[in-house]
Amino acid sequence: MKILKIILIILILIILIFLAGILFLPEYLSYTVNEKDITLEVQPGDNLRDVAQKLADLNAIRSETFFYYKGRNIANNIKTGEYVIYPQMPIENIYEVITKGNDSKTIRITFPEGFTLYQFATRLEENGLVGKDEFIDATEEYFEKNLSNYVDNSQMYFSLEGYLFPETYFFSEKQNAEEIVQWLVDTLNDKWTREMEEQREKLNMTKHEILTIASLIEREAYNDEERARISGVIYNRLEIGMPLQIDASVIYGKGEGRDHTSIITKNDLLEANPYNTYVNRGLPPGPIASPGFNSIIAALYPEEHEYYYYVMGKNGHVFAQTYEEHLKNVEEYRKMQ
């Protein structure tokens, strides 16, 4: 009996290790580990295995085997040349550049968490990759082809707002707007795990609603520690039909997704606008920015509590259950100004 228990424990440990590998290993192996820029030379006759071995010899990747098997679909499209491999470069980017050819320059662009779609478009144009309007048109085309049957965009300023994942990308200057949009959306979809989808279903929310909540959290949270708590406030208010009263949403609506200001007036809070969460109950029509992964997780896993209010304090937001308590916190905040 004792031996059976030991065997059972060992089997459980093996299963847990296997599951951990499935969940975390791909992310761990998906980025380069070189500390400085290095040059990868792809010579005539080199195949994908050769490229994987060279990257391993250059100490740029953690797993030669993972690189090869993940990139098998591009094995016949590799072009010779010299390519710059950057630190923390997603291996998907390496596949992209070695199939485009070395007559194409690699352009590194970082999109911070909380960037709006219009800011994505502006940064792409500033880096000479694609024009702002061209990119925005491409996002609308993507929406019509892929999301129009599931998402109502009638009141949204930019239909794909919130669906472009914010991080650092390594683009080829040969990439067009459609390819860039596909990449940005695919990155979000790749990070959306089966567990996240199951949690979304438990919450009885659409992916669009989760991304909307995540974007509100992204623009409101002072730090990672309070994201889930702010998420809990949003869910608490939604549950009782209380207006969300989120300034960041009002700001987004005031600027119609393009102009951003940190200043809002009392009149702004009264203005009829689909993104005015003081006037309208429930969620705004869609996301107000591109949320990072931590905000998406917070939207999926809100902290359970009885808070309905929060205001900025000395080192982050101060939360309250009642309006009276909230007013005291507001007064304390004003004293700090």
pLDDT of residue 103: 61
Assigned domain for 46 exists: yes
Query: Which stretches in the chain have pLDDT values below 50?
Result: 16-24
Single residue among 73, 104, 135 that ends a domain in this structure: 104
Assigned domain for 144 exists: no
What residues contact 44, with CB distance under 8 A and at least 6 apart? 80
Long-range CB contacts (within 8 A, 24+) of 181-185:
181/135, 181/138, 181/139, 181/142, 182/142, 184/120, 185/142, 185/160
Assigned domain for 132 exists: no
Give yes or no for a contact between 54 and 39, defined as CB atoms under 8 angstroms apart.
no
pLDDT of residue 19: 43
What residues contact 45, with CB distance under 8 A and at least 6 apart? none
Single residue among 51, 76, 104 that ends a domain in this structure: 104
Assigned domain for 284 exists: yes
Assigned domain for 173 exists: no
CATH for 58 = 3.30.1490.480
Distance of CA 102 to the CA centre of its chain: 29
Total domains in the fold of the chain: 2
Helices (H) and strands (E) in the chain, counts: 14, 6
Single residue among 104, 136, 167 that ends a domain in this structure: 104
d(CA 20, CA 8): 18
Closest CA relative to residue 30, chosen from 114, 112, 90:
90
Report pTM: 0.79
pLDDT of residue 44: 85
Assigned domain for 154 exists: no
SS3 content of the chain, % helix, strand, coil (to 5): 55, 10, 40
Q: Provide the residue range defining the domain that includes 262.
A: 220-288+296-336
pLDDT of residue 137: 97
pLDDT of residue 207: 97
pLDDT of residue 24: 47
Question: 45-63 pLDDT, tens per residue?
Answer: 899 999 999 999 999 899 9
Assigned domain for 321 exists: yes
Query: DSSP readout, 9-44?
Result: HHHHHHHHHHHHHHHHHHHHHSB---SS-EEEEEPT
Assigned domain for 125 exists: no
